[in-house]
Amino acid sequence: IIDMGQPDHSVVTTCAYCGVGCSFRAEMKGDTLVRMVPWKQGKANRGHSCVKGRFAYGYASHADRILNPMIRERIEDPWREVSWDEAMTFTATRLRRIQDQHGPGAIGGITSSRCTNEETYLVQKLIRQVFGNNNVDTCARVCHSPTGYGLKTTFGTSAGTQDFDSVAQTDVVIVIGANPTDGHPVFASRLKKRLRAGARLIVIDPRRIDLVRSPHVQAAHHLALTPGTNVAVLTALAHVIVTEGLADEGFIRSRCDWDGFQDWAAFVADDRHSPEATALLTGVPAAELRAAARLFATGGNGAIYYGLGVTEHSQGSTTVMAIANLAMVTGNIGRPGVGVNPLRGQNNVQGACDMGSFPHELPGYRHVQDDATRAIFENLWGVTLSNEPGLRIPNMLDAAVEGTFRGLYVQGEDILQSDPNTKHVAAGLAAMDCVIVHDLFLNETANYAHVFLPGSSFLEKDGTFTNAERRINRVRRVMAPKNGYADWEVTQMLARAMGAGWHYTHPSQVMDEISATTPSFSNVSYELLEREGSVQWPCNDAAPAGTPVMHVDGFVRGKGNFVVTEYVPTDERTGPRFPLLLTTGRILSQYNVGAQTRRTENVVWHDEDVLEIHPHDAEQRGIRDGGWVRLASRSGETTLRAKITERVAPGVVYTTFHHPDTQANVITTDYSDWATNCPEYKVTAVQISPSNGP
Ligand code: SF4
């Protein structure tokens, strides 16, 4: 512990790690951050925090940070430090040259779930107004894009239905494909408090996560399914509810499309979806499926919380819709204590999606082909906007390899590490004429960049993040940007270098533009946020104080939409060469690819990724606890240490993905969600064998 002395002032801001969005008081001595203290008035955390938000901020002043812009003619050349003016002129000239030679659609950009709403709004504005196309995508592509698709299709809006306070009124909780104690620790504490007070818990997960059995908490049911069979399990639960007469017919008749319900009910009632048939597919005993379904349907207020174990599958969007079906058939929507709640991994995934980061949607989830919505932005921005949906990240990379996509602006995202098929990402980046990386550190993607624009940390800027419960929290500047400019100012510089007349002097003006153009934000302003602390969207004339619980009197789309969710097995199959299934997850002390948490001084952050193996599988292969293991798939191989444990079932292995050395994405496949291209990170056929080490 380093004694930093006594603070002389403090600033309230928001954690930049997970989607819980905890509020902190940053206690300062001059321009030095002394400590982060969880803020009791924070509505998401109510004075609680986890180790990451409280202690892992040292990366903001780490020596690895790049503070000056750099350019190079070719990616083989050494970097050359230049002034901001020279960097912007170089970048704008290259991007315009690409457009002259290859057309306006040959460039695009990627927004970051780590940046603020205002910064994200400006990146999509840059691409739509200045680049002149819809080639904007976001890192949510590889995590929660199926949430966007699934909840919009069933309920009418791409967001969780509840506030975190709601968990205090729940009676039965399903946690599926999420590990809140590691991934969303402060929410997990609130959930455990409710479980200790008597709520019942159903965990649907291939792995025995801590919530299944921990001090004072014991799940009523752990459905330890085979990875990749979520849809089959959820359909079997629905089968029991429908065939045993447990559906909430009153709710369904008044709130949902009745014809659609009848079609869906006939589908799930089919014998092929019975628990007995499903047990064979999923490995979950029929009696457990039946008992869990009865508990959820009859146990009182039922709430469902889920994570990437739902979305990162070839049927990710189908699984989200199956979850929504389960909530509707049991009447568990539209009041405190119930609902469907995606636990967002990054601090501003929700906000990045809200702000128009998808190539088919303008801010507020409105399709680019909606003439009235385009007209709002065209009038304000003074341009004619394209009504053609743009390219998703994988399509940008495909087009780059084909030679038709030549320039990419990447803000706050290391796509080489976080996106699937590392070789293909590298080939796409290497084929481009202008890759611009805007980040704190020279990340792996920067190896293929021609321009590096230094980024600013959350401590160095004003703005807002939107957490997993749609809560818009203020981010406040705690210290001056070490690189001279906050990220929103850098994007503005680039827009101006390309001829745009942007003159924002503070992010509050960007928020004013968001509220003027986006109905669900129409009452949001920095003045309101100062007064209220935070608000949950929709926040407009119909809900001036925000909306803790959605779909109270009716669904945003009108009637709730039951969708038939046929289980389709992934094309990734085990076989003699690759007989085991690998799935992945997080640990408490690390965050995503570790770019931030690995750059803190506390050694606790330097945990390594390990491979969890069932004793039976380890013994068969002569693998010992703590020894090195070669992990190989059809895509590639890596080496990790073994941890022998009964947390995983025989036939399943599990690892985290926080260290670049592990390169978990070298192992994973090219399969992706049928609707959104979200990669199938959670199911990979693998083989393991003893190794002498990396
Ligand atoms: Fe930050 Fe999430 Fe931990 Fe809260 S729970 S302190 S938001 S990482």
53 in ligand 1 pocket by Cβ < 6 Å?
yes
Topology (CATH level 3) of domain 145-342: Dimethylsulfoxide Reductase; domain 2 (3.40.228)
282 token code pair: 């999923």
DSSP state of 130: I
Q: Which H/E stretch holds residue 185? A: helix 185-196
653 token code pair: 């292995």
Cα 600 from Cα 58, distance rounded (Å): 5
Taking CA atoms only, the protein residue closest to ligand 1 atom 6 is 53
Residue 426 banded pLDDT, cuts 50, 70, 90: very high
Q: Tell me: pLDDT of 306 over 90.
A: yes
Q: State the maximum Cα–Cα separation within the chain, in Å, rounded to a whole number.
A: 70
Q: What's the angle, vertex CA 656, arms to CA 37 and CA 289, rounded to 5?
A: 100
Q: What letters, b where the CB count within 10 A reaches 16 and e where it falls short, cover 645-671? A: bebbbebbbbbbbbbbebbbbbbbbeb
454 token code pair: 């230094």
Average pLDDT over residues 468-481: 95
Q: Which H/E stretch holds residue 95? A: helix 84-102
Tokens 């980061």 label which residue?
357
pLDDT at residue 158 in the model: 86
Q: Tell me: pLDDT of 594 over 70.
A: no
15 in ligand 1 pocket by Cβ < 6 Å?
yes
CATH 2.115.10.20 is held by the domain 580-691:
no
Beta bridge partners of 471: 536
Q: Specify burial of residue 159 (Cβ count, 10 A radius: 0-12, 13-18, 19+).
A: buried
pLDDT at residue 326 in the model: 98
| Percent of the chain's residues with pLDDT above 90 | 81
22 in ligand 1 pocket by Cβ < 6 Å?
yes
What is each CA distance from 323 to 19, 155, 431, in whole angstroms?
20, 11, 41
Q: Using one digit for the tens of pLDDT, what is the confidence trace for 319-352?
A: 999 999 999 999 999 999 999 999 987 889 999 9
DSSP state of 157: S
Q: Tell me: pLDDT of 564 over 80.
A: yes
183 Cα to the center of ligand 1, angstroms? 9
DSSP 342-401: E--SSTTHHHHHHTT-STTEETTTEETT-HHHHHHHHHHHTSPPP-S----HHHHHHHHH
Pairwise pLDDT comparison (33 vs 297), residue with the higher score: 297
pLDDT at residue 346 in the model: 84
Q: What's the angle, vertex CA 478, arms to CA 477 and CA 484, rounded to 5?
A: 65
186 in ligand 1 pocket by Cβ < 6 Å?
yes
203 and 223 in contact (C-beta within 8 Å)?
A: yes
18 Cα to the center of ligand 1, angstroms? 5
Residue 599 banded pLDDT, cuts 50, 70, 90: confident
Taking CA atoms only, the protein residue closest to ligand 1 atom 1 is 53
Residue 537: count other Cβ atoms within 10 Å of its Cβ. 26
pLDDT at residue 605 in the model: 57
Phi-psi label, residue 382: left if phi above 0, alpha if psi -120 to 50, beta otherwise: left
349 and 19 in contact (C-beta within 8 Å)?
A: yes
Name which CATH class applies to 70-140+358-458+485-518.
alpha beta
235 and 278 in contact (C-beta within 8 Å)?
A: yes
Cα 428 from Cα 432, distance rounded (Å): 7
18 in ligand 1 pocket by Cβ < 6 Å?
yes
183 in ligand 1 pocket by Cβ < 6 Å?
no
- pTM, entire model: 0.92
**What is the torsion angle, in degrees rounded to the nearest 10, for the CA atoms of residue 266, residue 272, residue 277 and residue 279?**
-60
Q: Tell me: pLDDT of 2 over 80.
A: no
Nearest ligand 1 atom to the CA of 49 is: 6
Q: Using one digit for the tens of pLDDT, what is the confidence trace for 604-613?
A: 655 678 899 9
Q: Using one digit for the tens of pLDDT, what is the confidence trace for 669-682?
A: 889 999 998 888 88
Residue 123: count other Cβ atoms within 10 Å of its Cβ. 30
22 Cα to the center of ligand 1, angstroms? 6
180 in ligand 1 pocket by Cβ < 6 Å?
no
57 in ligand 1 pocket by Cβ < 6 Å?
no
pLDDT at residue 1 in the model: 42
pLDDT at residue 664 in the model: 67
Q: Which H/E stretch holds residue 534? A: strand 534-536
Residue 632 banded pLDDT, cuts 50, 70, 90: very high
Nearest ligand 1 atom to the CA of 21 is: 7
DSSP state of 322: H
42 in ligand 1 pocket by Cβ < 6 Å?
no
Domain spans in the chain, listed from the N-terminal domain onward: 70-140+358-458+485-518, 145-342, 580-691
Give the up-direction half-sphere exposure of residue 305: CA atoms within 13 A in the CB hemisphere.
30
164 in ligand 1 pocket by Cβ < 6 Å?
no
185 in ligand 1 pocket by Cβ < 6 Å?
yes
pLDDT at residue 666 in the model: 77
Q: Using one digit for the tens of pLDDT, what is the confidence trace for 118-165?
A: 999 999 999 999 999 999 999 877 778 899 899 999 999 888 999 999
Beta bridge partners of 203: 175, 222
Nearest CA-CA partner of 96 in 73, 71, 121, 130: 130
What is the residue-averaged pLDDT of the chain? 93
238 and 246 in contact (C-beta within 8 Å)?
A: no
Q: Which residues contact 155 (CB under 8 A, 6 or more apart)?
A: 161, 324, 333, 340, 550, 551, 555, 556, 557, 560, 561
Nearest ligand 1 atom to the CA of 187 is: 5
Q: Using one digit for the tens of pLDDT, what is the confidence trace for 217-247?
A: 899 999 999 999 999 999 999 999 999 999 9
Residue 64: count other Cβ atoms within 10 Å of its Cβ. 11
Average pLDDT over residues 362-370: 96
Pocket test for ligand 1, best of 22, 164, 466, 658 (most atoms within 8 A of CB): 22
Pocket test for ligand 1, best of 12, 13, 15 (most atoms within 8 A of CB): 15
140 in ligand 1 pocket by Cβ < 6 Å?
no
pLDDT at residue 534 in the model: 95
Q: Using one digit for the tens of pLDDT, what is the confidence trace for 83-100?
A: 999 999 999 999 999 999
pLDDT at residue 66 in the model: 94
